[in-house]
Amino acid sequence: MPITTTRRRLLAGSAAALALPAFARAQGAVKPRLTAISQWSAGSDGAAITALGKKFEEKGGVWQHSPVPGFTTEMMNKLRAQIIAGDPPACSQLKGPEIAAWSKIAPTVDLDAVVAAAGYEKVVAPDLAKLHKPGGKWIALPLQIYSTNMLFLSRRAMDKAKADKVPVTWADFNDLAEKMKASGVTFPVANGGTRADDGQKFEASLAGISPTAYRAAIMNLDKKALEGPEIKAAFAQVRKITNWMDPNVGAQPYATNLKRFVDGDMGMMIMGGWAQGVLRNAGFKFDDFMIAPGPSDNGKPVFLLNADAFIFWQRKEPDLQAGQALMAQLVMDPAIQTMYSQITGSIPVRTDVDLSGEGWSDGQRRTAAALKDAVANNQAVLSLAHNMAQENGLTAAMIDVFTEYVKNKTITPDQAVTRLAEAVEGAR
């Protein structure tokens, strides 16, 4: 008997799967269950997704999250194996253009109806929304947002340089760095030596010089823009930055140098908003540093978007389908986004969440305000260094150029422009 029921349910589920209202029907009939994989296993990321799982269970669901710790690559290898085996998870972490790339290798769930019902599209930055509906239909949902070009200022280094003005443009930034250098801050720019780090230096420079050029060259790979004067200017700015950095970092992560940054031995750090959480977890106080949007030559904030997301894979089991519907509702819910971002230090995807209340930091408020301004001025662009602007193959080819340029000071900006254009050509 139990076997027949399951089979009947399965049949009903698969027939209904073609139409979206199946979600609602399935939800009523079975206990929602969600199989999910992500790389979030420890720290604030692990805590946040565990909290999300609790909410899922509170709503009567069965939460089956299998974290794959380590690099995103490992998570992707697991996902690839499951897809090839014909057993994808009901939802998995995936971000940026990889959503479009992966959606071609296995069927995904059409989320248009749930998204429309929640009125979600109005409150998501347009460029971000586009990434999650590659074929014109929503198949993935963004979870939280970081900006990769926040400017962190060491309070002690600022005191040393007797400076109190937060730099707005790259010229301000360069002046302040010189001032810090002259007043005994050993390295005016705090840095790590990872590939993403080197990539962030470039994207922050270019987007700050001209978000329009960034969009054309990096996001749309326009050949003329790739060889344009803004790219050369960005490489020249990166060269200035590298001259203020500690060359002894090898391939260490930026976090290794946080103490020197707080101590005022290093002055400014261009890093994603997640550094705030890392600084706080390392025991530093909000008084030790300041956070502002990264330098922007037109004075209005430029926001380099980095967003984590969940993609939903098609499953025939009605309980998994019900789980997907429940998960989608939760991820879009402002209260859930608030809970999630308050744990990780990111900002909510929804631009209509009020961050003035308890539980938000100044850094998060400033980031959210910057996003709103940037969206209003069409200056919110997608981060290349964190795999939001291009697929991984192209991203890696471009970052090869940036990381070589950062590490090799004999490469001139002109040579770098040529190499970047060649790398893009070679990887396409």
Partner 1 sequence: MTDVVSTASRPGRRATSDVVRRLPEYLMIWVPLLLSAAHLISFSLWTIWISFTPSTLIPVSGWVGLRNYNSVLASRNWQIAFDNLLLFGSAFVLLSLIAGLLLAILLDQRIRGENVLRSIFLYPLAVSFVVTGTVWSWLLNPGIGIQKLVHDLGWTSFRFDWLIDRDMAIWTIVIAAIWQSSGFAMALFLAGLRSVDGDIIKAAQIDGAGPVRTYWRVILPTLWPITITVVVVQLQFAISAFDLVRALTNGGPGIATQLPALVVYDLMFQRGQLGRGAAAAVLMLLILLAVLLPYAAWRYVQRRQATHA
Question: What residues line the site for partner 1 (CB under 8 A)?
Answer: 73, 76-77, 80, 83-84, 98, 101-102, 105, 193, 246-252, 391-393, 396-397, 400, 403-408, 419, 423, 426
Give the whole-angstrom CA distance, residue 288 versus residue 293. 17
Residue 137: φ, ψ to 5°: -120, 145
| Nearer of residues 83 and 236 to partner 1, judged by Cβ | 83
**Distance of closest approach, residue 346 Cβ to partner 1, in angstroms:** 24
**Distance of closest approach, residue 214 Cβ to partner 1, in angstroms:** 22
Question: What are the distances in angstroms from CA 182 to CA 135, 175, 269?
Answer: 54, 11, 18
203: enclosing H helix or E strand: helix 195-209
Sign of dihedral through CA atoms 130, 133, 134, 139?
A: positive
CB 242 within 8 A of CB 406: yes
**Distance of closest approach, residue 331 Cβ to partner 1, in angstroms:** 24
**Distance of closest approach, residue 324 Cβ to partner 1, in angstroms:** 22
| Nearer of residues 119 and 393 to partner 1, judged by Cβ | 393
Q: Which of 143, 142, 141, 178 has the alpha carbon at shortest distance from 157?
A: 178
Give the whole-angstrom CA distance, residue 94 versus residue 191. 27
**Distance of closest approach, residue 309 Cβ to partner 1, in angstroms:** 17
CB 38 within 8 A of CB 71: no
| Nearer of residues 61 and 88 to partner 1, judged by Cβ | 88
| Nearer of residues 16 and 394 to partner 1, judged by Cβ | 394
**Distance of closest approach, residue 270 Cβ to partner 1, in angstroms:** 19
CB 307 within 8 A of CB 14: no
| Nearer of residues 88 and 142 to partner 1, judged by Cβ | 88
**Distance of closest approach, residue 392 Cβ to partner 1, in angstroms:** 5
Structure tokens at 299: 């004075």
| Nearer of residues 194 and 344 to partner 1, judged by Cβ | 194
**Distance of closest approach, residue 252 Cβ to partner 1, in angstroms:** 8
Give the whole-angstrom CA distance, residue 425 versus residue 60. 51
| Nearer of residues 98 and 288 to partner 1, judged by Cβ | 98
Structure tokens at 223: 């050949």
**Distance of closest approach, residue 105 Cβ to partner 1, in angstroms:** 5
Query: What are 396-402's contacts with CB under 8 Å, separation 24+?
Result: 396/427, 397/423, 397/424, 397/426, 397/427, 398/199, 398/218, 398/423, 398/424, 398/427, 399/195, 399/196, 399/198, 399/199, 402/195, 402/198, 402/199, 402/201, 402/202, 402/238
The secondary structure of residue 216, as a DSSP letter, is: I
| Nearer of residues 219 and 396 to partner 1, judged by Cβ | 396
| Nearer of residues 249 and 290 to partner 1, judged by Cβ | 249
The three-state secondary structure class of 239 is helix
